[in-house]
Amino acid sequence: MNYQAVDYHLTGSMQVLLTSEAGDRIALKENIVFKTGRPRANLVQVDPQQLKQTLLGIGTSFTESSAFVLAHLDQQTRAAVMQNIYGEQGANFALARTPIGSCDFCVEGRYSYADVADDCSLTHFSIDADKDGFSVKQYPGIRDPDFDLLPMIKQALEIKANQQQKDLRIIASAWTAPLWMKDIQDWYVKGSVQNGFQGSGGVLKPEHSETYARYLIKYLQAYQHEGVTLWGLTPVNEPLGNNGQWESMHFTPATQNEFIKHHLGPLLRDYAQPPPQLLMYDHSRDQLEQWADTIYGDPETAPFVDGAAVHWYESSFRVFEDVFDRVHERYPEYSIIHTEGCIDDLGNDAPPGVTDPAGFKESGWFQNDEFWWSKSATDWAYSVTWEGVNSADHPVYAPVHRYARNIIVSLNHWVSGWIDWNIVLDSRGGPNHVGNYCGAPIMIDVETGSVYYTPVYYVLAQLSKTIRPGDRAVQTDQCMPGLDPDAIHASASINADGLLTVQVLNTTGQPVEYSLQIGQQHALVRIEANALQTLQIPMPQPTA
């Protein structure tokens, strides 16, 4: 540990927040006092003088599925839910993501904003699909037929504006170009090998590279006209594909590099000053290096790009922090933002002949906190049975642990912002037009109107309320002899006013005592079993 024992004279009170399996929900706990002397063997060391990356905060995503579920609520109940998501007294999320056109988390899917074939001038471009609502005749449970994806985004921005906060930073990602721009002339093709991929979303026809870039610019302009300024953009979601399971489109590092260099980059530069943040890749963390070397390493492309977007699906517990460290070491000027993660296939039945490995199908996950705190979830509907999947990377896991661990470790290793996937889904984990039912922080029974704030919501809210845009990550180290390496995870950040915030996750079934050391002083801290603890310490200026 590279640690400097500076004397800070920590005499003020420390605020402690806790969310735990025992039932604490961002609960304010008794203050902890610092003292001098020998710390305990279990140690978390924080060095406020070693400043690292500037943070963008924690966020979640807008989807058509989330809007559809919220449209089943009366306006008063929906307003309360939205306040709990975006309001200052709620989770106060600072980042967001939204699809450009359809994705799997749509009610019916298979649409773009330019579905008129061969309309290369994009004369018929329209974002009406994002704001035309849902038919009560077709969906009798709908309470507000005018609510949709774009109205949901506008309501979130209105909440921010009414509380005199800065607008949400929203990153937009297309799952695919309009089908007529692609070689397969379809949204996706299952099963067969296409362009070297098992199943396919197809690739852009060379003659439509410029057309697709203009399509993305038209989207930015259309949303700007609606009063929504998009902060960031990725060329496509998950360019490595999804085995042709739903809307997708493939790029390789080389083809995305050419697309940015010759088409999207120049158009974005001319679109606005400053242009939206352009984030390359937008897929699995483990392959980030190859994409960074290709795109950041091209001196013609690099000036157009601001950073990379990554997802967590390649492992339910590994964060691939070694990859983040190597990419940051080679390309320190580029940000890394986590743009998607969720509890996979929550509402899907087990494949034939496979029993439920977690044993939660009977009790379920709706209004059942035990599910979220226990080893209960599996990747991709029992992925241990999938051919070609490394089952060691996908054990049965606790959803809360996966979220909190991923965020804490990521922020320790140069990730500047972290975004969840759908903020709201129904009680099964949908709707999803291809049956890819997943978990969400908030789940709603659309028949009864019952709103369930899962433990993941409270964990994300606690992190979001205490990790704010403009904060700086600071060096954090830990030494926990005798404990499993996964038992305790810790990270820290500091704001411009000198408020130091330390996040600690205990994944074990027992309380753990540790010393929090800052400079020459330490505090004896007890973190409850299976809990996320946040400690906030006002930092005086150090003395020599």
Q: How far is CA 501 from CA 350, 380, 464, 518, in A?
A: 41, 35, 12, 12
Does one domain contain both 497 and 411?
no
- 319 sits in which H/E element: none
Would you give the DSSP letter of residue 541?
A: P
Residue 84 and residue 91 in contact, taking contact as beta carbons nearer than 8 Å: yes
Same domain flag for 269 and 227: yes
Domain boundary among the residues 466, 495, 520 is at 466
pLDDT of residue 484: 96
Q: How far apart are CA 322 and CA 393, in angstroms?
A: 16
For position 354, what pLDDT does the model report?
A: 62
**Which position has the token pair 């506008």?**
154
Q: Select from 131, 148, 216, 232 the least CA-distant residue to 178.
A: 216
- Quote the domain boundaries for residue 400: 57-466
Q: What is the CATH number of the domain that holds 243?
A: 3.20.20.80
Q: What is the DSSP string of 136-172?
A: TTTSTT-S-TT--HHHHHHHHHHHHHHTTPPPPEEEE
71 neighbors 145 (Cβ within 8 angstroms): yes
Q: 10 Å Cβ neighbour count for 62?
A: 23
Q: How many CA atoms lie within 13 A of 507 on its CB side?
A: 21
| Last residue within a domain, chosen from 466, 500, 516 | 466
Indicate if 448 and 479 belong to the same structural domain.
no
Judgement on whether residues 398 and 350 belong to the same structural domain of the protein: yes
Q: Quote the CA–CA distance of 234 and 107 in Å, as a whole number.
A: 23
Grouped pLDDT means (10 residues each) for the chain, 544 residues = 66 86 96 85 95 98 98 98 97 98 98 98 98 97 98 98 87 98 94 58 97 98 97 97 93 98 97 92 97 98 98 96 98 98 84 66 87 89 60 90 98 98 97 96 97 98 98 97 96 97 98 94 95 95 64
Do 37 and 179 sit in the same domain of this protein?
no
How many structural domains is the chain composed of?
2
Residue 9 lies in a domain: no
Same domain, 211 and 119: yes
Of the residues 445, 466, 487, the one at which a domain ends: 466
Chain position carrying tokens 């600071």:
474
